[in-house]
C-alpha cells in the first residue's frame, strides 16, 4: 500500500468594488471569474507505474487541512463552496466552474462521470449571527462523491475550487494550504483487462490538459 500526496497552497483574495483579485501571498491559485471563483491545479505523476504496465487500485482518499476559511468584514449570510477534487480526466477552468453545481451526476452541465471522479469533497461554509464577529466561517455541510475506480492513467488530476456566494459582504477571504491523499496499490492484471483500461486512459488524455 502506498500513500500519494499533493498539496495546494495558501490563498487570499480581496474584493474591490465588486471585483475579486488574488493577493501576492497566494500560492498557485488563479482567478477563473472576478465575481468570486478561484482554482488551484496540480496532478499526481504516475508515469513510472504505467511504464511498468501496472494498474493503480485505490483503497481510500481524504483531504488534510488546518482551519476553517477566514473572512474579514463579513456579515451573516456570506457563504462559500469549497471543492476538493481528484479525477482521471483533466478539466478546463470552465469545466471546473460547473463542478460545484453539477458534480459527477447525469446532468447536461456535468464535466465528469462517476467513474472519472476518483474522489471529491464538497464543503459549504457560512457566516451566522453568533459568529459574525469571530472571523472564521462555520461549516454548514459536507458531501462526498467519487468511485475510487482503478486506473492505468499516468496522471491523477488534483483540483481545489473556491466559489463565493452572492451577495457577499466580506472584502477579504483566506484559506490555509491543504493536502490531497490517495492510498493505493499498484498491481498487474490480466492483459486484456489492462489493455482496455489503458485505452480508456488514453481517451481521457485526449481532453484539454495544461501542465
206 contacts 88 by C-beta, under 8 angstroms: no
pLDDT of residue 198: 52
- Residue 192: per-residue pLDDT: 43
Q: What does the domain layout of the chain look like in residue ranges? A: 2-205
Backbone angles phi and psi of 47, in degrees to 5: -60, -40
Supply the pLDDT for residue 71. Answer: 95
Residues 20-52 pLDDT 10s: 999 999 999 999 999 999 999 999 998 766 555
Q: Which residues of the chain have pLDDT under 70?
A: 48-53, 189-211
What is the reported pLDDT for 205? 53
> For residues 172 and 15, is the Cβ–Cβ distance under 8 A?
yes
User: What element of type H or E holds 102?
Assistant: helix 93-102
What backbone torsions phi and psi does residue 93 show, to the nearest 5 degrees? Answer: -55, -40
* Residues shown for the chain: 211
pLDDT at 191: 54
pLDDT score of 81: 97
In contact, 101 and 154? CB cutoff 8 Å: no
Per-residue pLDDT at 53:
63
**SS3 of 118, please?**
strand
- Position 189 scores a pLDDT of 57
In this prediction, residue 55 carries a pLDDT of 82
Predicted TM-score (pTM) of the model is: 0.87
CATH 2.60.120 fits 2-205, yes or no: yes
Amino acid at each position: 500500500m502506498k500513500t500519494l500526496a499533493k498539496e495546494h497552497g495558501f490563498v487570499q483574495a480581496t474584493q474591490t468594488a465588486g471585483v475579486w483579485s488574488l493577493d501576492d501571498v497566494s500560492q498557485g491559485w488563479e482567478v477563473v471569474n472576478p465575481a468570486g471563483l478561484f482554482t488551484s491545479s496540480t496532478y499526481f505523476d504516475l508515469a513510472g507505474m504505467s511504464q511498468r504496465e501496472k494498474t493503480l487500485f485505490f483503497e481510500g482518499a481524504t483531504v488534510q487541512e488546518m482551519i476553517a476559511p477566514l473572512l474579514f468584514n463579513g456579515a451573516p449570510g456570506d457563504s462559500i463552496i469549497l471543492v476538493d477534487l481528484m479525477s482521471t480526466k483533466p478539466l478546463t477552468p470552465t469545466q471546473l466552474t460547473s463542478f460545484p453545481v453539477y458534480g459527477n451526476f447525469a446532468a447536461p452541465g456535468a464535466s465528469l462521470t462517476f467513474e472519472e471522479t476518483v474522489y471529491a469533497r464538497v464543503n459549504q461554509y457560512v457566516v451566522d449571527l453568533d459568529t459574525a464577529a469571530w472571523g472564521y466561517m462555520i461549516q454548514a455541510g459536507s458531501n462526498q462523491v467519487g468511485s475510487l475506480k482503478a486506473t492505468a492513467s499516468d496522471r491523477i488530476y488534483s483540483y481545489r475550487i473556491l466559489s463565493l456566494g452572492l451577495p457577499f459582504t466580506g472584502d477579504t477571504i483566506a484559506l490555509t494550504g491543504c493536502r490531497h491523499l490517495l492510498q493505493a496499490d499498484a498491481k498487474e492484471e490480466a492483459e486484456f483487462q489492462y489493455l482496455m483500461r489503458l485505452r480508456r486512459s488514453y481517451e481521457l488524455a485526449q481532453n484539454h490538459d495544461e501542465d
